[in-house]
Chain A
Amino acid sequence: MTLLLGMGWGALGVLVIAVGAIFGVWWERKVSARIQMRLGPQQIGPAGSLQMIADVPKLLFREDIIPARADRTLFKLAPLIVFAPIAIAMVVIPFTSGWAPMDMSVGVLFFLAVPSIESIALLISAWASHNTLSTLGGLRGAAQLISYEVPRSLSVLPLVLLAGSLRPLDIAQRWEWWWFPLTLVAFVVFFIASLAEMNRGPFDMPEDESELVAGYFADYSGMRWAIFMMAEYGAMIVASLFAATTFLGGGWPLSGAAGTVLMVVKAVALVTVIMWVKWTLPRVRPDQLMSFCWKILTPLALIQLVVVGVVLIWL
């Protein structure tokens, strides 16, 4: 029964991400246009907001090219594996106080663990494409995702300590305003690690446009390519929702439906910052990416954990 329910919510998650991606692409095009002194899409619908509605059918009708030397089965499988974990991770997010699609006692752990499956999908797509640049992108991606798991998980622990629970619902309910200044460093670490986790600039090593063309999904076309794009936006949305509910207190100071709206607003604000970062900063180099992770982010997250632990004794 739980499994069936989970699948149902997962399917709904896919829908939310698909709609979110359509909105996200439009929003990203608008944000990047602002940064680049352009106007962005403006022909279809008010302020170009229906642009993606026109783009999705276009992508559906594109030829689905599978390279001759590709591993056909894996090649077709990879987009699904890249997309599914993100939709699944969504089910533990408390959308309103006291309610999450799936109430899990280890929800935080679940949220941190499930999107990691993406690194396997990344490797599969890179391997299946039988393309040097894709392979390089996939290897980079795997190294990056595994490394950034560490600071990302560590940065959530202070909140788990404060709430005394791994249940996202508990964290959201027990959240108090002074948690935010106390865990600010953890929030920044989580934000940066999430950027790397979702392969967004300045950490978009695996799809590094300037030398790897598009990296692991360089050989994908049409809808399969669009699924990779949707997964990227999905990861952005899910991570922002999670950060909004845990680090930023969800609907605080409002509650009920207004709280849910405020939470979504916070998440959209975070998504906007992610886009802002991508379109402003240059990309870091793979070795710099690694040393940044292990030499700066991980120690910072550890220090934050100790600080919160010490503060907890005083309380």
Chain B
Amino acid sequence: MPHDLTVNIGPSHPSTHGVCNLLVELDGEVIVSAEPRIGNLHRGIEKIAENRTYMQVIPLTDRLDYVGSMYSNWAYCRAVEQLAGIAVPERAEYIRVMMCELQRIGSHMMALGPAGSDAGATSVYMYTFAQRDLVLDLFEAVCGARLTYNYVRPGGVSLDLPDGWVEQCRAFISQLPGAMLELDRLLFGNVIARARMKGIGVLSREDAIACGTSGPVARGSGVDFDLRRDDPFSVYPRLEFSVPLGDNGDCYDRARVHLFECIESCKIIAQALDQIEPGPVRNDDVPRLIAPPAGDTYAHVESARGSLGVYLVSDGSVRPYRMKVRSPAFSNLSVLPLLAKGHLLSDLVIILGSLDPVFGEVDR
């Protein structure tokens, strides 16, 4: 097929959601091939981790998925806990679940806002960021930071919930479903937005599984898989929630799965707030220098982007021998060339946005 135009999209471009470079071959405006060239944000986090003690690695995990540091912390800490056999108090587990779900909402706001602004509806961004700001207020109250929290620690969390936090959180989750349904009307009810997103970037169920996608990208294609339910960890078995699924696997379905997951997260947080009981939030027996017995382990959590896993190898010293992060954003991004082919250049940014990549986690 003859093509005459090669376009470099990124790494400095308004719609690449970070520092992604897309090498796009165009035939007119039709995409012949789109190749994501990753690595612009590679900081060697997995290698740096080998030279740090287990505690010192936690701030590094903050920088993996920088719009979702809480669950990055958590995935790593679960691996350390499995490796060293550290028990976690129940209150800490509830707090972790709540933080993870709040983080999911905060992260999905980063997916829904650009879903609108990639299509040209920039105002949607403001509506979702108003919600994300409330999430960050909750995080700030609990640990003082708004972006990189370093909150989840092996054996618990660093600090207990402050006074008034529960009320603040309840106020937030009571208004969120309404705001989400308003967003559903504003963006997904719009005739132009439907025309832009429906039938664009269709990922079949088979391809979704074959490419190793997970999270909203896989669920948008109808893959009924959610680690919170299918490989229960922490206190998730005690909480009731449903897993929203898409039918067609197009950009519209992927974006809407994000939206309805936020409403499900609200239900989880409400139940956790009801069930949580006073108690310690940290296992005091955990030493400052953790030296797990030699061995390896793999722990994963359901992050906002899918199954985020951490593989840890210990040689018995105080530093990890090897850390490997199974990044859902990386796997999800791998379907981009498949989805973009044959669509127009205008669709490319919508497809990329619907995969919701965070390049801190893709490049690591």
Closest to B12 in A: A213
Chain A 32-73 residues near chain B, CB threshold 8 A: 32, 35-38
A170 to B6 Cα, complex, angstroms: 53
Contact B7 A286 (CB under 8 A): no
- B187 surroundings in chain A (CB, below 8 A): 282
Contact flags A196-209 to B (C-beta < 8 A → 1, else 0) = 00000110100011
Closest to A209 in B: B14
Contact B121 A136 (CB under 8 A): no
Closest to A32 in B: B123
In the complex, whether A281 has a CB less than 8 A from a CB of chain B is yes
Contact A210 B130 (CB under 8 A): no
Contact A282 B120 (CB under 8 A): yes
A32 to B127 Cα, complex, angstroms: 13
Chain A 170-218 residues near chain B, CB threshold 8 A: 201-202, 204, 208-211, 213
Contact B121 A211 (CB under 8 A): no
Contact B5 A132 (CB under 8 A): yes
Question: By the criterion of a CB under 8 Å from any partner CB, how many residues of chain B are at the interface?
Answer: 32
Option from A37, A279, A280, A284 in Cβ contact (under 8 Å) with B130: A37
Given contacts A210-B117, A211-B9, contact A288 B195 (CB under 8 A): yes
B121 to chain A, nearest CB (A): 4
Option from A136, A201, A202, A210 in Cβ contact (under 8 Å) with B349: A210
Chain B 178-208 residues near chain A, CB threshold 8 A: 187, 190, 192-193, 195-196
A134 to chain B, nearest CB (A): 11
A210 to B118 Cα, complex, angstroms: 5
Contact B13 A213 (CB under 8 A): yes
- B7 surroundings in chain A (CB, below 8 A): 132-133, 136
Contact A285 B195 (CB under 8 A): yes
Contact A210 B15 (CB under 8 A): yes
Contact B344 A282 (CB under 8 A): no
Question: In the complex, which of the residues A32, A132, A140, A285 has the most CB atoms of chain B within 10 Å of its own CB atom?
Answer: A285
Given contacts A281-B190, A285-B347, contact A202 B120 (CB under 8 A): yes
A132 to chain B, nearest CB (A): 5
Contact B121 A280 (CB under 8 A): yes
Chain B 110-127 residues near chain A, CB threshold 8 A: 116-123, 126-127
- A208 surroundings in chain B (CB, below 8 A): 120, 346
- A29 surroundings in chain B (CB, below 8 A): none
- B130 surroundings in chain A (CB, below 8 A): 37
Contact A282 B196 (CB under 8 A): yes
B282 to chain A, nearest CB (A): 39
B16 to chain A, nearest CB (A): 10
Option from B116, B122, B344 in Cβ contact (under 8 Å) with A286: B344
In the complex, whether A130 has a CB less than 8 A from a CB of chain B is no
In the complex, whether A283 has a CB less than 8 A from a CB of chain B is yes
- B347 surroundings in chain A (CB, below 8 A): 285
In the complex, whether B84 has a CB less than 8 A from a CB of chain A is no
In the complex, whether B345 has a CB less than 8 A from a CB of chain A is yes
Question: In the complex, which of the residues B9, B120, B196, B348 has the most CB atoms of chain A within 10 Å of its own CB atom?
Answer: B120
Closest to B192 in A: A282
B163 to chain A, nearest CB (A): 29
Contact flags A206-243 to B (C-beta < 8 A → 1, else 0) = 00111101000000000000000000000000000000
- A279 surroundings in chain B (CB, below 8 A): 122-123
Contact B120 A281 (CB under 8 A): yes
Contact A284 B195 (CB under 8 A): yes
Contact A281 B121 (CB under 8 A): yes
Contact A38 B126 (CB under 8 A): yes
In the complex, whether B29 has a CB less than 8 A from a CB of chain A is yes
- A282 surroundings in chain B (CB, below 8 A): 116, 119-121, 187, 190, 192-193, 196
Task: List 9 tightest A-B contacts by C-beta distance, closest first.
Answer: A283-B120, A282-B119, A36-B126, A282-B121, A210-B15, A282-B120, A282-B192, A282-B193, A285-B346
14 pairs from A and B in contact (CB 8 Å cutoff): A32-B123, A36-B123, A37-B127, A132-B8, A133-B7, A136-B345, A202-B120, A210-B14, A210-B349, A211-B15, A281-B121, A282-B192, A282-B193, A283-B119
Q: With A37-B130, A283-B119, A288-B195 given, name 4 new contacts (CB 8 A).
A: A209-B14, A210-B14, A283-B196, A286-B344
